[in-house]
Structure 1
C-alpha cells in the first residue's frame, strides 16, 4: 500500500512505496503525520512534480469502495487511439453505519411514544408543520453522503488529486416490477440486463434460490415458467445454479419444491420483499455527484454497466475497492494486488449520558468526561503488558473507563478487557473510524 507524502509546508506530493518511506524516516528526512492511512511529512523539501491522480468511488448502501489511482494516457502504437491505463495506489472499503443510525432513531421514537401514551414525563409532541429543505435526506442516508465526501476531502488533502470518478448506478424498481408502465423499450436499454441481474444478485445474496449454492455461476430463472404464463417482471425472477435450472425446467415452482415447503415459503417471501439497499442507493446517487462537483475538480459520472464491463474485460475480482478502480473509462489496469484498508464508521460517541432499561428509564449513568488518563474511546493505542494473565502486546481501539482499566478492540478478534492505562501508548487519536488491514485482493 502506498504511503502518502506531504512536503515541508504540508502540501501533498506523489505517494511513495513503503520501502522509500522507511528510508526517509531512518535518515531523519521525514516525520510521521498519521499512522492509518500512513502519512509522512518531508522536512527538507517544498513542492515537486506530480502526476495525474484520480479518486474513484463505487457507492453502496452498506460499503463504499474507494480507489486512488494514477492515470496514464498514451497512444496505441497500432491504432493510434489514446488508451487509458490506471495504476491503483491505494484501496479502501468504507463501511457505513446507516443501519445503526436508523435503529437508534426508531428506538428513540418508540420510547417517546410510550412515555406519551402512558402519561409519563415527556417532551410535548411537535406538530408536522415544519418544512424540509430542498435536497433533504434522512439521517441514515445523509451519513452515507457525508462520510463518503469526508474521505474524498481527506484524500485530496493528502495526495495531489486532479479528478474524481463516481459510479452512478440506478435500480429502477418501478419499471422492473412493471415494464409495461411506459413500454418495454424503456427497460431494454444498455443497462437492462445488468440492472436486473445486479438487483437479483443483491436480493438473493449471490446464492441459488433452490439449493443455496454460492461461488458458482448463477443464471436468471423464471419462477413461474414463461411456458405457463410467467412474465419477465422482477417479482417472477430468481437466481439458480445450472443443475437446479435444468432440473426445474418448465415445472411450476410448487411442483419442483413440493417436498420442501419451508424453502418454497422462503422463496415466496423473497420475491415479494423489495431490496431496501436499492432504495438507499437511489436516494443518494445524484446527491453524491452534486456534492463532488462543488469541489471544483472534474467529476466523471459513469454507470454500473461500464464498471462491470471493465471488470470482466480486465479479469479483476469483484470487491468494492476494485469495482471503484474500474469506474469510468479504463482500457488497462496496472498492479491491483494490493492490501485493502477496511474503514468502519464508528461515530464520535453520544450525547446520551445514561443507559436505558426496556421501559425507557435510566438504569445507569455514564461519566460526564470522555477523557480519562489522557485517552478517549476510539483512540488507537498499543499496550505492552509484561506480566500477568494478560501478558502480551495488543494494538487496537480503546474503550476507556474512569477506573483506568481499558478495553482494547482488535480487528477480527474478541476485545481484550482490563488493560491498565499505564501500559497503553497512543498511536493515533480517535477520528470516528476504525481501521483494519485486509489481505491483498485476489
Structure 2
C-alpha cells in the first residue's frame, strides 16, 4: 500500500485522500491539477459528491524531527517525517563574527551593537534558531489541516523537569537552591568547589583559571558542571591539543554529558502548541510508548505519529515513508574564513554573486532531476561551472562513476522545487536519526 494523495475540490474544500493510481488517472485525463508539493495535493476540476469519513491527524512534535500520520478508522492513509534544520545558530554565530570583525577592521566609527536587542521590544521573544523550529512545527500542522476534511488533531508534547534530571533526589525547597546558592559569581563557586586546587596537577595556589571542559565552539555552556579549575602552568596550548591532558578531559566529559537543550525546547514548544491549537488533544511520550507497544509498531517518528492519532487497530498501512527536509539556498558569507582543502590561502577576493550561484543553463538549486540513461534521481545542491552536485533527500550524493559532479547536459528536469525537498523511502529501510 502506498501513501495517499491529498485532494481539494473545485471550490477549495478538502476531500478524502485518494490512491496514487487514481490521482495519476485524474491528472492524465485533465480532470485535476497539482496545486501543492509538500504534501502533494491535487485539485479537482469538476464537481464531486464529497463523501467524507472521520479522519485523525497525529503529530509527534520535536526539535529535530516531526512525525506526521493521517489515519481513518483502521487504515493509515499517510505517514511521513519532517527533518528540521540544525545549523541556524551556527550560521548566525558565523555571520556575527564576520560583521564584528568587519566593523572593527574597516568601520571603526560604527558603535558596538548591544542596546538594540529585539527581546527588549516584544514579549515572548525567542532566539531565531528556537523560533524557527517552533514555527515549523506549527506551520507543518497547518499544512495538513488545510488538506484534510475536519480532522481530529492529536499532538504529542514533552514536559521535562530539568532540576530533577540533574538531581533525581531533589524535592521541596531544594528547587530554590541552585548550584550558585550562596555565591556571587560562577567563578567564585567553581573555585570553592574545587578547593582552589588545579584539577590537573592537584597543586594549590598560583594563578588559577576557569577552563571549559566542553568548548563553547562545540556547544559547551557556562554551567558549573562544564567548568573546572586549572592553573596557568597546565592551561597551555599544548594541553589543548589532541593527546593533551585538557583534551582528554574534554573527550571523557563529552561522552557522559547530556545536553538539556532538547528538553528546554520541548517545554517552550508545548506552550506555543497549546496556544496555536487550543482544540487539539495532547498527550505525553510515556502514554505513546504503551500504545505503540499495544499496536506492535517499532520505534520511529512516523510510527509514534500513527500511535498518537488514537488508532485502535491497523488493517492497512503504507509500506513507505515520505521524508521532508529543508534546503538551504543562500550563502551569505562574503569570503572564506577557513581555506578549503587544497587551497593554502583563504579566498577573500571572490564576489558574493559568483559564490552564490542559484541557477545555470535552465536549472535551479533544489530542482528535482534525473540522470539520463539512468534511474537515479535527486536534488541539485550546487553548481560548478557546467556541472552540478546531486543529493537525495537524506543528504547522500547521487554518483555515477567516481566523480561527485554530473554534467548539466547529462541530466533532465523532473520538477522545480522550493526550499523543501521530499522523497519516499521504504519503511523497512528507515533508520532512526
Answer yes or no: same fold by TM over 0.5: yes
Residue number in structure 2 paired with 1:157: 146
Residue number in structure 2 paired with 1:406: 388
Residue number in structure 1 paired with 2:166: 177
Greater Cα offset, 7-16 or 412-421: 412-421
Residue number in structure 2 paired with 1:242: none
> Aligned partners of 1:3, 1:63: CA distance in 2, in Å?
22
Instruction: Tell me the CA shift for residue 51 of structure 1.
Output: 1.8
Match of 2:68 among 61, 66, 69: 66
> Aligned partners of 1:286, 1:361: CA distance in 2, in Å?
46
> Aligned partners of 2:419, 2:305: CA distance in 1, in Å?
23
- Matched residue SS, 2:298: coil
Match of 2:32 among 30, 33, 54: 30
Greater Cα offset, 323-332 or 417-426: 417-426
Question: Contact 1:375–1:400 at 8 Å: present in 2 too?
Answer: no
Instruction: Tell me the CA shift for residue 421 of structure 1.
Output: 4.4
Match of 2:274 among 289, 295, 309: 289
> Aligned partners of 2:154, 2:417: CA distance in 1, in Å?
29
> Aligned partners of 1:419, 1:309: CA distance in 2, in Å?
48
- Matched residue SS, 1:155: helix
Note if 1:323 corresponds to 2:304: yes
Residue number in structure 1 paired with 2:368: 380
Question: Contact 1:370–1:377 at 8 Å: present in 2 too?
Answer: yes
* Superposed CA RMSD: 3.5
> Quick one: structure 1 residues 396 and 428, their matched pair in 2 at CA, closer, same or farther if it must change by over 3 Å?
same
User: TM-score scaled to structure 2, two decimals?
Assistant: 0.67
- Matched residue SS, 2:427: coil
Map 1:272-287 → 2, pairs under 5 A = 272-287=257-272
Instruction: Tell me the CA shift for residue 313 of structure 1.
Output: 1.7
> Aligned partners of 2:162, 2:427: CA distance in 1, in Å?
35
> Quick one: structure 1 residues 135 and 54, their matched pair in 2 at CA, closer, same or farther if it must change by over 3 Å?
farther
Residue number in structure 2 paired with 1:307: 288
Residue number in structure 2 paired with 1:251: none
- Which stretches in structure 2 are left out of the alignment for 5+ residues? 176-224, 226-246, 340-345
User: TM-score scaled to structure 1, two decimals?
Assistant: 0.66
Instruction: Tell me the CA shift for residue 94 of structure 1.
Output: 0.7
Instruction: Tell me the CA shift for residue 36 of structure 1.
Output: 5.9
- Matched residue SS, 1:111: helix
> Aligned partners of 1:405, 1:271: CA distance in 2, in Å?
44
> Quick one: structure 1 residues 104 and 327, their matched pair in 2 at CA, closer, same or farther if it must change by over 3 Å?
same
Residue number in structure 2 paired with 1:346: 327
Instruction: Tell me the CA shift for residue 406 of structure 1.
Output: 3.2
Instruction: Tell me the CA shift for residue 154 of structure 1.
Output: 2.1
Note if 1:54 corresponds to 2:56: yes
Instruction: Tell me the CA shift for residue 323 of structure 1.
Output: 0.6
Match of 2:41 among 39, 42, 47: 39
Note if 1:145 corresponds to 2:127: no
The number of equivalent residue pairs is 341
> Quick one: structure 1 residues 6 and 383, their matched pair in 2 at CA, closer, same or farther if it must change by over 3 Å?
farther
Instruction: Tell me the CA shift for residue 7 of structure 1.
Output: 2.2
> Aligned partners of 2:329, 2:253: CA distance in 1, in Å?
41
Q: In the TM superposition, what whole-angstrom CA distance separates every residue of 1:373-409 from its partner, at most 9, and x where no partner exists?
A: 443211223342xxxxxx5354221246485533322
Note if 1:168 corresponds to 2:164: no
Question: Contact 1:344–1:435 at 8 Å: present in 2 too?
Answer: yes
Question: Contact 2:325–2:393 at 8 Å: present in 1 too?
Answer: no
Question: Contact 1:343–1:436 at 8 Å: present in 2 too?
Answer: yes
> Quick one: structure 1 residues 403 and 102, their matched pair in 2 at CA, closer, same or farther if it must change by over 3 Å?
same
> Aligned partners of 2:415, 2:375: CA distance in 1, in Å?
17
Residue number in structure 2 paired with 1:432: 419
- Matched residue SS, 1:89: strand
- Matched residue SS, 1:332: coil
> Aligned partners of 1:30, 1:306: CA distance in 2, in Å?
41
Instruction: Tell me the CA shift for residue 101 of structure 1.
Output: 0.5
Greater Cα offset, 318-327 or 432-441: 432-441
> Quick one: structure 1 residues 273 and 158, their matched pair in 2 at CA, closer, same or farther if it must change by over 3 Å?
closer
- Which stretches in structure 1 are left out of the alignment for 5+ residues? 73-85, 187-234, 236-261, 385-390
> Aligned partners of 1:266, 1:370: CA distance in 2, in Å?
40
> Aligned partners of 1:440, 1:328: CA distance in 2, in Å?
19
> Aligned partners of 2:315, 2:36: CA distance in 1, in Å?
27
